[in-house]
Each structure stands twice: as structure tokens, then as C-alpha cells.
Amino acid sequence: MKINNQIQIHKQRGVIALFVTIVMLLLISMVTILTARAVINEQHVSSNLLREKAAYENAEAGLQFAKDYLRSGYDHDGDGAHDTNIMAGVAVDPSLPVPTVNLSATPGGLGDEHVLITSTGTSDDGLGSRVVYEERLIAPLTGGSAPYPLITRTNVAIGGTGDIRNYETNATVWSGNNATITGAGSTFISDGNNGIQEVSNRTTMGVDIVDHDSRLAALSGDEFFSNFFNGSKELIHSQAIELVPGDEAQLDLASFNNNQLIWITGTTNLNANTTIGCTVDYDPSSESCLGQGGEIAPVILIVDGSFRSNGTVDLYGILYVIGDLADSPVWNANGTFNVYGSVIVEEDVNINGTLNITYDSDVLGGFANNHIASKMSNSWRDF
């Protein structure tokens, strides 16, 4: 009897142990399954986040492309409508997705110059998608009239040799304070009969020179700048090709001479023969742009600092010198400096070498398709 009871007890213990073991196995299995499911869900979430991030970056890349695209306007194909799918045919890494970027007029009837950018980006596997929007106001880059070969807000002293010519508007120098000619140079305008006439020199100041203009003298540097550009210095700077002092030699490269906007911060020294604004490189001391088979592709060169030039320089376009107030005069030209277009300086100008400036509206007209696209405040969104 006692033996049977012991056997019964052992059987009960075995059943309990088996039950506990089965329950533990079930619990472990459930924990394993839940853990695996959590890991899988986390992987899905991580993958979706990665796809979303990749799609967002792709859309932002398209948005940046559109900002650069708008510098030449919103209707590149000339059909009178805002361009669509502007990245079609753009050479990109074939392993990367190409965002779809469309331009349209901003809703609300604000006008064609108010442009809505819609950029749709996708992830590498095409499963993720994000859309970003931004509104931009398009305006010509150059906003004010500059019908003078040489303009300064303060003083201009022309020594040395060389000529300032304007056969179109018959105005040569415009300054807020003194304008003097002390060297052998002269100014020339049209005589009205398809010829030219000398007007001003070191002995005679003609009507072609407008000096002591209180309207110019009263302007701040920023106000003076806004007379010639549709945007603040910060905005124009943000859309320019950036060079630093020491990179002046790069201005001689034809790749920079294609209706470009170039900004140099710091004192700039052109100490060698330099050609700016021609599609071919040539020796300006003995050759010319057209004579070497080049095409004039004017540039806007803005120097945020003092400007010094030596050697022989040919520039087609606009030279704007902001200048360092502590370093007067801010523009000092030695050697031979030939400008076809216009020179605008915020502070004092001192010419010691050979200065030749010829006002040319055809050259300045090369900027007609250059635009500035300023962001409308609070217009960016991704919903």
C-alpha cells in the first residue's frame, strides 16, 4: 500500500513537471515570437524611416535644382508657360532616382513671376515618396539703370591715360562727390552725326560728367547697391559663384565667363593679364575676344573688399566694388584696364594707369535672362 502511494506521488510529480515544462516552453515560444515580431516591426519602421529620409533628400535635391534653374527664368522652352518636369534629361548618377520637379504659378492670381516649386522625391527602391513645396518670387537680377560707364557714390580721380566712352546716352561719369581728371585721359560721346567728340579732359569738365550729386552721396552702401540689383547683398551673394582672394586667376577661365554672377570677399588683386567675360582665353595686351574667335558672355563681378588691378585686364560686363571703408581708395587701377559695360563703385576710385571704359548696352543686355529667385517667407512646406 505504501509502495503504491509512493508510485502515485511520483506520477503526480511527473505530470506537474511536464505541465510546468510545457507551460515554460509555450511562454518561451510566445516571447520568442513576440520578440521576432517586434524586431521585424522595428526593421520595417527603420526601413520606412530610411526610405522617407532618402525620399526627402531626393525631393530637397530637386528643390535646389529648381532654385538654380529659376535664375534663368521659369520658361526655358519659350512656350509662354511655366516649365514642368524640369529635371527630365538631366545627366545624373543612373543608380540614383531622379526627382520630379514642376513649376507653376502660385495659386491666388499673384502673377506668373510668383512661382510654386513642387518637388517629388523617391527612395532608391521606389517604395518611399515625399513632396516638398516652396514659393519663389522671380525678378531680373539687375534692377536699376546704369547708363554711365563709371559710377561712384563718393569721389573719382582719373589720372594716367585712357578714355571713358559712351556713344549711347552721352553721359560718362556719375559721382556723389568730386570727379576730377588729372592725367592724359579724356571722355568721348557721340557727336550726333555718326562720329565722336571729346568732351572732358584735365582742362575741361564737360556736361557728360555729373558730379556732386547729393542723391548719390546721401545713400548708404546698401541703398546704393539696391539701385542696381533686385535684392539685398545677402540675397545676391547667396546666388553667386563664390571665389576667395587668391583665386583671382580662376577669373581667366572660360568656364566662369558665361553670363555668370561672381562674388569675391576680400581684397582682390589682378596682377596678370586677365580676360573676364569672353568664352575663350586670350592675351588682352595684344589680342581681342572676337579677334580670337570668342563670343562675349558678360559677367557680373562683385568684389566685397578693395580692388587692385595691374597688368592688362579685359572685362565684359559689370564690375561692382563694395570696398573696405578702412582702405581708401577702394579701387586702384594700374596697368591697362579695359571694361566693356559699366563700373560701379561704392567708395573712392583712383585710376593711375590706363583706364578704358566703353559703355555698351548690348553687353549689358546679356544679363536680360539672368534672374534672382527670392524665397517667399514661410512658403516651404512638405504637406
For residue 102, give every residue at least 6 positions away whose Cβ sits within 8 Å of its Cβ, in sequence order, or none: 82, 83, 84, 85, 86, 117, 118
What SS3 string covers the chain?
CHHHHHHHHHHHHHHHHHHHHHHHHHHHHHHHHHHHHHHHHHHHHHHHHHHHHHHHHHHHHHHHHHHHHHHHCCCCCCCCCCCCCCCCCCCCCCCCCCCEEEEEECCCCCCCCEEEEEEEEECCCCCCEEEEEEEEEEEECECCCCCCCEEECCCEEECCECEEEECCCCCCEEECCCEEECCCCEEEEECCCCCEEEEECCCCCCCCEECCCHHHHCCCHHHHHHCCECCCHHHHHHCCEEECCCCHHHHHCHHHCCCCEEEEECCEEECCCEEECECCCCCCCCCCCHHHCCCECCEEEEEECCEEECCEEEEEEEEEECCCCCCCCCEEECCEEEEEEEEEECCCEEECCEEEEECCHHHHHHHCCCEEEEECCCCCECC
Half-sphere exposure of 92 (CA within 13 A, CB side): 13
pTM of the model: 0.73
The reported pLDDT for the residue numbered 249 is 60
The reported pLDDT for the residue numbered 247 is 66
The reported pLDDT for the residue numbered 254 is 45
Report d(CA 201, CA 57) in Å as an integer.
Answer: 61
The reported pLDDT for the residue numbered 325 is 47
Distances (CA, A) of 321 to 31, 44, 343, 347, 353: 73, 56, 8, 8, 18
Mean pLDDT by runs of 10 across the 383 residues of the chain is: 55 71 86 85 82 90 88 81 86 82 76 84 89 86 77 89 90 93 92 89 93 93 90 87 71 57 84 80 77 84 84 87 64 79 89 87 79 77 77
The reported pLDDT for the residue numbered 167 is 92
Sign (positive or negative) of CA dihedral 175, 176, 180, 183: negative
The reported pLDDT for the residue numbered 324 is 55
The reported pLDDT for the residue numbered 231 is 83
